[in-house]
């Protein structure tokens, strides 16, 4: 069954939805959600839910007044764009904590949010205001990109109350009395931040970094969000050493981040090389997004059940698939680079008629293993090939978890072995802690059938933040010739060659 998702109603909301779909991917990003509050009311312009983190977006695009009085113009614009958006996201947070079961995708409140929010009260909330419309006026009054100046010392009504404060146009600090509680981006900085931090994990790291800076009372003026982003990406994102930056400010001193830092940063060879070797990691995103697209479109083909409740396969529901891919989504970009490199390296090592696999420990999640399984596609029927490949994936994942019980979950990905122009994927989540004698017996049988132990080796990437870029796989794998099987022997029958293995684990691939 298809699940409709909004693409945004206004041009700015449509841009926001597109940017967030690319960053957060389909399972976790929802534009124009509604709440049932004695009638439908918009919750927020965009809602992101991933595990224990919730991000709320409110987008206001308001024309900047031009009365001839700049401070008055700024005050009016700030009230309509930033203040109104702040009220919306704070109200959305209260609603989610009190009524997590009353959130909908449509204005008629007939289509509930397809993923669970019953844990919302315990989630970490991040509140983002997008205030558009001031860029051109800002550029007229100061050189640069037109992004807003950040100054944590400016709090609450000091942004716009002309009667009681010396209001500073184009300066945004702590909109809420809690410093760092609300993030304000503009039409220049939001696309930039989401382009550079295009995973849930990376954006959350930046938001938490910024929140701690604002709450430290050690930051003076930041000449535009882009320069803060350059500071974060240049070194601190990889090492966490930005906390040493705060330690340098002593005896009431504050740190100012000046303009020009972003332009210098993007001109470095390190930045250019890093962006280049990020490219192949988007295979990871593609896998998630393809399953999300089919899940929301109601076109997923469910794989058959295996192993009782321990295994959750790519079934029709959005919520089931979200759980499968949540671990993958929590990997930051640099981890995806290495995970994808391990995947490509293994599928490139094509061996005729042989199923291959690789076990890789998650660089981010200490309780998670990835199992990559590659099956030669020598089948005349695509349906038969996918069925056999799904069986292999289920068996390898189950076996690996049974042999590595220090881990809580195994996320399995199966694909074509060797070079495939039109590559397809299957995905699986295996979680289990109750290893009964019956389950042990099943694992032993699978081990005998597959002829592998499932014990490893386990590839560990180590500290990805300090590692060098992975090398690209060398050479081009050979192509396979598909041959037709006469179908007289069932793939779960014992192989007639006398090996004692099931036909699908022995001579089946060779008889194509």
Higher model confidence: residue 240 or residue 356?
Answer: 356
Q: How confident is the model at residue 235 (pLDDT cuts 50, 70, 90)?
A: low
Give pLDDT, residue 164. Answer: 92
Task: Tell me the torsion sign for CA atoms 276, 278, 284, 288.
Answer: negative
Average pLDDT over residues 64-84: 95
Q: Are strands 40-50 and 124-132 parallel, antiparallel or unpaired?
A: unpaired
Query: Is pLDDT of 471 > 70?
Result: no
The answer to whether residue 237 sits within a structural domain is no
Could you give the CA distance from residue 238 to residue 332 in angstroms, rounded to a whole number? 11
DSSP state of 478: P
Give pLDDT, residue 84. Answer: 92
Neighbouring CB atoms inside 10 A of 490's CB total: 11
* Residue 464, CB-side half-sphere exposure with 13 Å CA sphere: 23
Q: What is the CA radius of gyration of the chain?
A: 26
Q: Which of 215, 249, 266 is the last residue of a domain?
A: 215
DSSP one-letter string for 385-454: HHHHHHHHHHHHHHHHHHH-TTSSEEEEEEEESS--SS--EEEEEEE-----HHHHHHHHHHHHHHT--S
Query: Is pLDDT of 503 > 80?
Result: no
The answer to whether residue 410 sits within a structural domain is yes
Q: What is the pLDDT of residues 5-44, one digit of tens each?
A: 788 788 888 888 888 888 888 889 999 999 998 888 999 9
Give pLDDT, residue 13. Answer: 85
Give pLDDT, residue 477. Answer: 35
The burial class, CB within 10 Å (0-12 / 13-18 / 19+), for 81 is buried
Cα torsion for 134, 136, 142, 143, to the nearest 10°? 130
Query: Is pLDDT of 215 > 60?
Result: yes
Give pLDDT, residue 486. Answer: 45
Give pLDDT, residue 72. Answer: 97
Give yes or no: residues 505 and 379 share one domain: yes
Give yes or no: residues 430 and 317 share one domain: yes
Which residues partner with 42 through β-bridges?
Answer: 34
Give yes or no: residues 17 and 152 share one domain: yes
Q: How confident is the model at residue 481 (pLDDT cuts 50, 70, 90)?
A: very low
The answer to whether residue 444 sits within a structural domain is yes
Nearest to 400 by CA among 427, 426, 429, 376: 429
The answer to whether residue 128 sits within a structural domain is yes
Cα→Cα distances 255→148, 218, 223, 471, Å: 18, 6, 12, 39
Query: Is pLDDT of 500 > 70?
Result: no
The burial class, CB within 10 Å (0-12 / 13-18 / 19+), for 70 is middle
Neighbouring CB atoms inside 10 A of 30's CB total: 25
Query: Is pLDDT of 212 > 50?
Result: yes
Give pLDDT, residue 479. Answer: 36
Q: What is the pLDDT of residues 268-288, one digit of tens each?
A: 888 888 889 899 999 999 999
DSSP state of 371: E
Q: Which of 168, 192, 215 is the last residue of a domain?
A: 215
Give yes or no: residues 161 and 299 share one domain: no
Query: Is pLDDT of 302 > 50?
Result: no
The answer to whether residue 257 sits within a structural domain is no
Report how many domains make up the chain: 2
Residue 113 and residue 102 in contact, taking contact as beta carbons nearer than 8 Å: no
Query: Average model confidence (pLDDT) for the chain?
Result: 83
Give yes or no: residues 195 and 286 share one domain: no
* Maximal CA-CA distance, the chain: 92
Residue 476: both structure tokens together:
């081009």
Please give the residue range of the domain that contains residue 98: 11-215
Residue 128: both structure tokens together:
């983002």
Which residues partner with 131 through β-bridges?
Answer: 60
Give yes or no: residues 124 and 204 share one domain: yes
The answer to whether residue 256 sits within a structural domain is no
Higher model confidence: residue 389 or residue 509?
Answer: 389
pTM: 0.85
Query: Is pLDDT of 221 > 90?
Result: yes
The answer to whether residue 401 sits within a structural domain is yes
Query: How would you classify residue 217: left for phi > 0, otherwise alpha for psi between -120 and 50, otherwise beta?
Result: left
In 3-state terms, what secondary structure has residue 54?
strand
Strands (E), 325-408: 356-361, 368-375
The answer to whether residue 236 sits within a structural domain is no
Query: Is pLDDT of 357 > 70?
Result: yes
Instruction: Give the CATH number for residue 56.
Output: 3.40.91
Give pLDDT, residue 81. Answer: 93
């Amino acid at each position: 069954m298809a699940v409709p998702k909004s693409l945004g109603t206004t041009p700015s909301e449509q841009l926001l939805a597109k940017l967030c779909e690319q960053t957060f991917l389909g399972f976790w990003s929802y534009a124009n959600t509604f709440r049932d509050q004695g009638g439908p009311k918009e919750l927020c312009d965009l809602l992101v839910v991933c595990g224990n983190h919730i991000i709320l977006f409110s987008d206001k695009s308001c024309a900047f007044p031009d009365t001839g009085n700049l401070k008055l113009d700024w005050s009016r614009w700030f009230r309509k764009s930033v203040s109104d958006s702040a009220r919306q996201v704070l109200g959305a947070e209260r609603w989610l904590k009190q009524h997590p079961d009353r959130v909908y995708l449509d204005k008629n409140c007939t289509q509930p949010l397809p993923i669970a929010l019953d844990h919302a009260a315990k989630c970490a909330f991040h509140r983002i205001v997008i205030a558009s419309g001031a860029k051109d006026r800002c550029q007229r009054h100061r050189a640069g990109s037109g992004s807003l100046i950040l100054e944590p010392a400016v709090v609450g009504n000091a942004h716009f109350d002309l009667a009681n404060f010396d209001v500073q146009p184009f300066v945004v600090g702590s909109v809420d009395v809690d410093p760092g509680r609300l993030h304000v981006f503009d039409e220049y900085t939001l696309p930039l931040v989401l382009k550079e931090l295009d995973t849930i994990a990376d954006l959350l790291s930046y938001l938490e970094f910024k929140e701690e800076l604002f709450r430290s009372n050690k930051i003076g003026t930041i000449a535009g969000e882009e320069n803060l982003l350059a500071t974060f990406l240049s070194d601190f994102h990889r090492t966490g050493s930005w906390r040493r930056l705060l330690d340098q400010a002593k005896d009431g001193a504050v740190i100012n981040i000046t303009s020009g830092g972003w332009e210098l940063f993007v001109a470095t060879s390190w930045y250019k090389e890093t962006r280049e070797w990020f490219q192949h990691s988007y295979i990871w995103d593609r896998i998630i997004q393809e399953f999300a697209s089919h899940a929301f479109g109601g076109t997923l083909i469910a794989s058959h059940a295996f192993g009782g409740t321990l295994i959750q396969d790519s079934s029709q529901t959005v919520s089931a698939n979200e759980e499968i891919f949540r671990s993958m989504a929590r990997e930051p970009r640099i981890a995806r680079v290495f995970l994808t490199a391990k995947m490509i390296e293994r599928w490139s090592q094509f061996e005729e008629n042989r199923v291959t696999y690789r076990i890789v420990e998650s660089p981010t999640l200490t309780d998670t293993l990835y199992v990559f399984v590659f099956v030669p596609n020598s089948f005349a029927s695509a349906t038969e090939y996918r069925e056999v490949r799904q069986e292999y994936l289920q068996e390898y994942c189950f076996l690996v978890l049974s042999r590595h019980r220090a881990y809580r979950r195994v996320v399995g990905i199966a694909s074509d072995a060797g070079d495939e122009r039109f590559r397809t994927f299957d995905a699986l989540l295996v979680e289990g802690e109750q290893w009964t004698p019956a389950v042990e017996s099943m694992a032993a049988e699978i081990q005998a059938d597959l002829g592998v132990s499932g014990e490893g080796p386990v590839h560990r990437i180590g500290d990805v933040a300090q590692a060098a870029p992975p090398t690209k796989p060398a050479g081009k794998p050979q192509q396979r010739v598909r041959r037709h099987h006469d179908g007289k022997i069932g793939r779960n029958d014992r192989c007639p060659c006398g090996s004692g293995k099931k036909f699908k684990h022995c001579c089946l691939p060779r008889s194509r």
